[in-house]
Structure formats: C-alpha cells, structure tokens
Structure 1
Amino acid sequence: NEALEVNSVPYKFIVTIRPKEGWQVYSSAQDADGRCICTVVAPEQNLCSRDAKSRQLRQLLEKIQNMSQSIEVLNLRTQRDFQYVMKMESQMKGLRSKFRQIESNRRTLLTKNFQELKGKMNDLQPLIPVLEQYKTDATLISQFKEEIRNLSLVLTAIQEEIGAYDYEELQQRVLGLEGRLRNCMNKLTCGKLMKITGPITVKTSGTRFGAWMTDPQASPKNNKVWYMDSYTNNKIVREYKSVSDFVSGVESRTYNLPFHWAGTNHVVYNGSLYYNKYQSNIIVRYSFESGRVMTQRALESAGFHNVYPYTWGGFSDIDLMADELGLWAIYATNQNAGNIVISQLDPLTIQVLNTWNTEYSKRNAGESFMICGTLYITNSHLTGAKVYYSYSTKTSTYEYMDIPIHNQYFHMSMLDYNARDRALYGWNNGHQVLFNVTLFHIIKTDDES
C-alpha cells in the first residue's frame, strides 16, 4: 500500500454566488510534505452545450442567419427596383427625343409636345420613392458590412481561444478522463481527516438556521439539491435540479412533509429524507419518489427537544448523517451521562445495527460529522471553532485533534459530510457553504488481493 494525502475537492461544487460554467476540480493529491503532486480538472459532462463560448457562438450564428434573411429581402427588392430603373432609362430616352423635336419646331409642336412631356413626367413620378429607397438600402448595406466585420473579429478571437480542438473531440476526451479518474478514485480506501479548507459560499438565503444537502448515493448525473429552512415549525422541503438552479432560485418541486422536523441535522440518503420528528426521538424516513413516509422508529433512550442539543441549541439533539459506510445517528442518553452515542442504522428499517458510547459531552459539541466510520466533533459553533475530538467505530478508540475550521459568518448551525462529493456542507448564519477536506488515504494496488 502507498500512503498519500488526497485533497478531496468537491468536483461538482466549485461555485460562487454567481457561478460561471467552466472547468472544475475533481481531485488533487499531495505528498507527505504537503507538496502538490497533481490536480485533475475537467468540465462537467454537459459543459459543451452550456458554456459561455457555446452560447456566444450560438448567438452569433442566429445573428448572422437574421442578417442573411435581411440581405435576401434586400436583394429581391433590388431586383424589383432594377426593373423600374430600366423603365426610367427608356422614358428618359423618349424625353430626350421629344426635347429635340421641340427644339426643331417649337411653334407648331409646342402645345402637343408639352402635354406629352407632362404625361412622361407623371409616369416618372413613382420612380422618385424608388430612388429614395435605394439611398436607404445603401445605408443598410453599409451597416451590414460593418456588423459582419465586427462579428468576424469576435469569431476569430473565440476560435483562437478555443484552440485546435472542436467540442465533440473535447467532449470525448473529457468522458475518457472522467472514467479513468473514477477508476482511480475507487481505489481510495477510507481516510483520516487531516485538514479543512474553505469555505466556498454557494448562496445566501433563508434564516440563520437551516440545512441543505445532496444525496451521496445518487448517480453522477443526479445533482439535486434539497433545502430545509429553519430548525422548527416547518414542513416544506424545496427541491432543485442542480446547484446552478439552487443558486438561481429555480425550484423543481416542493414537498410538504406530514410532520414538522426538529433541528437542522437531516440527511438525504438513497432517495429518502431522514429527519427527527418534532418533540420526539422518532426518526422518520420519507421517500421523495412516493411522497410518503416509508418508516418511522423511535431511537431508544435518545434525548430530544433541547435535552442534549449542540452548543447552539435549536432542538439539535439527534443528528442524522451518512458516510462511506452507511447511515448514522448521533445523540445522547441519560444512561451515557449525556455523552455522545453513535449508532449505525439500517436505511430501510431504521433499526440500530450497532452502538458506540463516547466520553464527549453532547452539550459541549458545536457540530459533528462522520467520515469513513469516524465521528469528528467541533468544540464550538462560533468563531474559533476547530475539530477537537474524533472517535473511530472501527477501533472503538478516541483521539484529541486540532484542525481549524473557518467559521466565516460566525454561527454554524449545520455541518455534514457528503461522501460522493468528499465535501462538508454547512449552514453558516444564513449562508450555504462548502468546505474542502484533505484525507490521509491508503491506495489499493492492483496486485492486492
């Protein structure tokens, strides 16, 4: 086995308040001294149909097509007007002949020719607006020429920026790299938390307290976001098809839960929402697909309704979370003197599969999250918070730590790890944020049994 630190950056979520479509970091690696070994970046799968260059090219194409139609109309009108000009030329020749006749015999033909001349002039009258239209058309053509010249410059600049690759070829290369990257990442075993960086502010919305999350069990193409504002007196879950839609506020669906929730420590796992039913120690499993409660079960002896909350309160007695190993509940009991209890749950039945008692007071914990079967606990929800304590369910041992976490907006009411994105989701005083984590990984070699 070869040991290294992998900076597990969430590959789907390098965004700002107004995100730009673009290349995103999948993962990077460091050696034991912290020196960068490599960083893997690639555009998301549908980038080529959605990025800024593609939109600009599409807009230019539509503009040129519109210009082409205008020029075609102008051409037809010019052909029509040309017939008028030919007629005008013939009539001018006739006028010149008449003038010669008048000059040779002014007295005898003056009256007759004057009437004929007046008639000819009347015939020429409709040609005057034709000539005016020619002036307008000439101006329009000049404008077209200038606009086409400008468009050509823009297209040339974009082509130089894109380089030699066309989008289809680039897309195939990206898909190939994505497959190779996933194969590589699948070789990563569970790791130990070494560092937390960030946060990245995704959005600012809602009250001071709330939760937002994605499903770690969802397919790579499923990037739905669920949003639950406030820690009580609410039953509304808002769904967004992607992080971009979430940032833009474009909801795809709203769910009205049958029971109010307590706290902000909910989790979406394999298509279901798990949450603590208000004023109880009952855990509810709600299926988004069927829109109904599939299971509900009391967590035996668990304190609830601010008996054993985190330091910030908010009915945060029972914390539901998921990691690489499954579904977990973090809570406290009288039997364990108010210290944190860790239970692994069956996702279908919500039955407790196994339980570990820690010696860390639940009321002294700011927040907690599971990574690879190890519980990490922060010592505060306020400025200066750090990961202070960890408990491994694999070895049933604990360790004191000192990993700072930047509490940018001074009040953390939700912090949860997502194993698919390898990132921490946080609700930081009305700001939805993401933290990157650095894990110490063991890489499986191909010759390993």
Structure 2
Amino acid sequence: MITAIICLFFLSSTIALEPVDLWTGRNGTVGPEGQCSCEAFLPGSTFPIRDLEQLEQTTVQISHKLEQEIIKVEMYEGKLTVYMEKVVNLTVLIKIMEDDPDSYSELYIQEVKIQIKQVEALIVELQASIQKSSSVLVILRKEITSIIVELTRLETVYDKNLVLVTRREYIKLQQKLEECERRHNEIFNPNIGSCSHEGILRLSKPIISQLNANLNTGYKYGGWGKDSNPLPGSENMYWYSASTGTVVRYISRYLDYYRLIMRQPMKTYDLYASKDWQGIGNNYIVRSNIFYYQFSNPFSMAKYNLTSQTVEYRVVPMATNRFSYHYSASQNLDFAADEKGLWVMYATEESKGKLVLAKIDEAAFALKEVWQTSVFKPAVGNAFIVCGVLYATRSVDIHTEEIFYTYDTNTRKESYVSIPFEKFQENYVYLDYNPTDQKLYMYNDGYYVSYHLWFKQNNQPNEPKHLIENITD
C-alpha cells in the first residue's frame, strides 16, 4: 500500500551553518499511525533563527514606540510655541497695566491672574511630560544598544549576511532615536551654547552606545566624542582613540554617528607612522579639527592638525607627570573645552599635587591665565569644564560616581557639592563635556557612554518659577 515513506523532521529553531551529514545511516521507524520518524544530529555551531525572528519583532515594537515619541516631540514643539505666545501677550498686558494701573478694575486684574496661573499650570504639565519622555528615550536607547551588541557578536560568529539585514534595521532605529533625542534636547534644553545658568543640576542615566570600534574590552584606555568647535561641514563628526595601554598612537574620525557605530572611519591617523608623534595618557579632545593630547617626549602639550597632519608642542610651565587621576596612571595633562574655549588641567610640585587649571590661547598655543584649586588631583576620578567652571568627580561605590567639587574661574570661588550619577562599569579613564550638545562623553571600560546634563536656571529653585513675580494672590 505504501509505495514510499517520506521522513519529515522539524528543526525547531536552528539551521546548520554548513553542509553536514545529518543522517547517521540508521533506518527510520514507522509509528502506529504510519508516521515516519528518524534521528538527525545537528552540529554544535548553529544559527539561532528563532532568536533573530524575535529580534525582528522587537524592531517593530521599538520602531512603534519611537514613532510615538517623535509624535510627542512634535506636539511639544507646537505647545511650546503656543505657550510662548501666551507668555509674550501676558507680558505686554502687564506692562500696559503697570503704566496705567487706574484704568483697570480689580475684577480685570483677577482675571489676568487666572490667565497667568493657567499658563503656569500648562508649563508645569509640559515639563512633566518632557521629563517622562526623556526617561522613555533612555530606556529605548538601552534596548537598541544591547541588541546591537548582540548582533555584533552574532556577526562575528555566524553567517554575516544573515545578521546584516537585522543589524541595519537597528542602526536605522538608532539614527531615528538620535534625531528624536536631538529634537527633545532642543525643547528641554534650548539654550545650548549659553551660560545663563547656575551650574549642573543633575545628570541623566548613562547612555551606552556600544563597545569600542576595536570590539575588544581590552582597549580600556581611550576616549571618544564630537568636535567641540567643529569646522563648517563637520558638525556631525565623531572621533575615537584607544589602546590596551596608556600610549596614544591612533585617532579615527567618523563622518557621523552611524559610521561610528558601524565602525567605518573616514580616516585613521597614525601618530607614529612617519615621525614619533605618539603621546601618553588619554584625556585628549578634538577642537576645530585639531587633536590636543599629552606629548610623550618631551613631556608637554601637543596639537595634531588632522587636516595638515602636522604637530606642534609646548612645555607647560611647572607641570609635573608625578600626579595622575585616581583611575589611571599617566593622566597628567587633561584637555577640556567649553563655551569659553580651550583648557588644560594638571598638577605641579609647587601645588603639592593639587589641581591647576589653565586657559589656553588657541592661536598662540600658550597658557594665558592660570588658577590654583585646593583639590588633590590623585583623589579625583576625572574633571571637566562647563562655562568656565571646573567640575571634579570621585567614586562613591562601584555603581555610583559623584561630582563633589567645583571651581568657578569667573568668581575664583570653590565649593563642595554632591551630584551623584550612575556608572555603566566601575572604572573609567575619560570624561569630557561638549558645548555643542551639552553632553558628557565617557569612555567606560571600553564602552562609549554619554550623559545628558540639566542645569539650574538663574534665580530658579528646582521647581518651576512663577511667570510674573509682581502680581500676588
């Protein structure tokens, strides 16, 4: 009756990577209902198709969430425009009333008060919505980052072509997230480039982009970020430099964030290729397409022009290489940039290891003003500058870092503060502020990490301030 027996078997979630002999030569068996069963042995290295399908489903879900957040951002932009118009109208009205108070009745004044309260309530509501949206964006970024890390691992182990399609989808999501965050940041923090605030209020959760371009956690010494004063056409450029030790030899430039994540540099510069221009330490920055770093011999500050590929160096008066930051050796010259220009931090024998801050004249490549602080440099995790104010960090525990000290070069006043923030990994060797997006960039045990900053506005407590001060209940 049965002219042929067709043996079917189902591989529940795996497909072999290469042709193998699945059959062992054993005969199949026929069950009581005529079904055929036979044994197949799969190799140990198999591709997780079901997992990849799950990732693709997650892509759709995250994409939907991102679309919702983008819609919210567009709504925030519309609301903000309306609220600003209302504030302007109320301001004009108040000015008219102040110039001619006798022309307005008490009832009319009460009505204006109600309008002010309504606008204030709307602004409080908008602020709460934006803060909630910000938390959602941080969560989405973590989800996308973790999946890209997993896809990168799969790409190196399994069939690259099978992974690449899904990986590209996640890169697109990450680009969309970047755009959403940028627009969100413009609304929540519209005064980028301005110093009309009273310093850092708090930091966001760590935003983990991915493992470094070398795909190696052994590259613990390094840094990454954006140009702090980009040349026209280079506004989206990123850079990266790292090594397994404190020697500085390579720096790579990337056209934009997408190329950084895809590990596709525009150009990689070798500081040792033609001449021995390599440095040491890793508290370097890129500013105006110039790489500022600590020169090895002689011990000095150096600048490598990424356009002309030439080097200049200057010895920093009295600077010593005897005092480094807490987390790593050889971090003797720490370069920083903010809204006010280029800086370098170091210690001297005369200061007995206390941190010294100097402003650099970029044209002359020389120090033009120096400030002495009272904080001991080896007790500091790292330091950065915002609007002429130095911020120093220290470890609280393996998960928490803290901004504990500030020095204001504008007033020559120092203070001890407590602004805790979360670390992705326990140790880090690079932390710098970028004034073009008001973010902190950290190199944390081989990972690209960043933070959004919130600033305390002038004369404002943590809660929203009343719009019109001279009208009372």
Give the TM-score normalised by the residue count of structure 1. 0.58
Given residue 292 of structure 2, which amino acid in structure 1 is its aligned partner? Y
Structure-2 separation of matches of 1:422 and 1:274:
20
Structural mapping, 1:281-300, within 5 Å: 281-293=299-311, 295-300=312-317
Superposed CA offset, 1:218-250 (max 9, x none): 157621111111253341111111111111111
Q: Which 5+ residue runs of structure 1 have no aligned equivalent?
A: 1-15, 42-170, 444-449
Structural mapping, 1:83-102, within 5 Å: none
Equivalent residue, structure 2, for 1:238: 252
Structural mapping, 1:171-210, within 5 Å: 185=192, 189-205=196-212, 206=216, 207-210=219-222
Find the partner of 1:345 among 336, 357, 360. Answer: 360
Q: Is the 8 A contact 1:330 1:342 kept in 2?
A: yes
Q: Is the 8 A contact 2:401 2:422 kept in 1?
A: yes
Equivalent residue, structure 2, for 1:260: 278
Paired residue secondary structure (2:296): coil
Structural mapping, 1:146-225, within 5 Å: 185=192, 189-205=196-212, 206=216, 207-218=219-230, 219=232, 222-225=235-238
Given residue 221 of structure 2, which amino acid in structure 1 is its aligned partner? F
Q: Choose between structure 1 and 2 for higher RCO, CA contacts under 8 A separated by at least 6 residues.
A: 1
Paired residue secondary structure (2:261): helix
Change (3 A) 1:279 1:378: farther
Given residue 198 of structure 1, which amino acid in structure 2 is its aligned partner? K
Structure-2 separation of matches of 1:352 and 1:292:
21
Deviates more, 1:26-35 or 1:244-253: 26-35
Q: Which 5+ residue runs of structure 2 have no aligned equivalent?
A: 1-58, 81-119, 134-178, 460-473
Structure-2 separation of matches of 1:347 and 1:381:
36
Q: Does 1:374 align with 2:389?
A: yes
Q: Is the 8 A contact 1:366 1:381 kept in 2?
A: no
Change (3 A) 1:390 1:220: farther
Paired residue secondary structure (1:379): strand
Deviates more, 1:26-35 or 1:217-226: 26-35
Structure-1 separation of matches of 2:291 and 2:303:
6
Q: Is the 8 A contact 2:192 2:437 kept in 1?
A: no
Superposed CA offset, 1:353-391 (max 9, x none): 111101100011011110110000012396232111111
Q: Is the 8 A contact 1:267 1:275 kept in 2?
A: yes
Over aligned residues, Cα RMSD in angstroms?
3.8
Q: Is the 8 A contact 1:367 1:380 kept in 2?
A: no
The aligned length equals 292
Structure-2 separation of matches of 1:267 and 1:34:
39
Find the partner of 2:380 among 365, 370, 381. Answer: 365
Structure-2 separation of matches of 1:292 and 1:318:
20
Give the TM-score normalised by the residue count of structure 2. 0.55
Q: Is the 8 A contact 2:192 2:438 kept in 1?
A: no
Change (3 A) 1:192 1:248: same
Change (3 A) 1:200 1:296: same
How far off is 1:38 after superposition?
6.9
Superposed CA offset, 1:39-88 (max 9, x none): 499xxxxxxxxxxxxxxxxxxxxxxxxxxxxxxxxxxxxxxxxxxxxxxx
Given residue 404 of structure 1, which amino acid in structure 2 is its aligned partner? P
Paired residue secondary structure (1:264): coil
Structure-2 separation of matches of 1:310 and 1:241:
32
Structure with max Cα Rg: 1
How far off is 1:182 after superposition?
10
Find the partner of 1:356 among 367, 371, 380. Answer: 371
Q: Does 1:229 align with 2:242?
A: yes
Q: Is the 8 A contact 2:204 2:451 kept in 1?
A: yes
Q: Is the 8 A contact 2:194 2:339 kept in 1?
A: no
Structure-1 separation of matches of 2:194 and 2:249:
40
Q: Is the 8 A contact 2:280 2:294 kept in 1?
A: yes
Given residue 215 of structure 1, which amino acid in structure 2 is its aligned partner? D
Superposed CA offset, 1:130-173 (max 9, x none): xxxxxxxxxxxxxxxxxxxxxxxxxxxxxxxxxxxxxxxxx9xx
Structure-2 separation of matches of 1:333 and 1:196:
31
Change (3 A) 1:178 1:360: closer
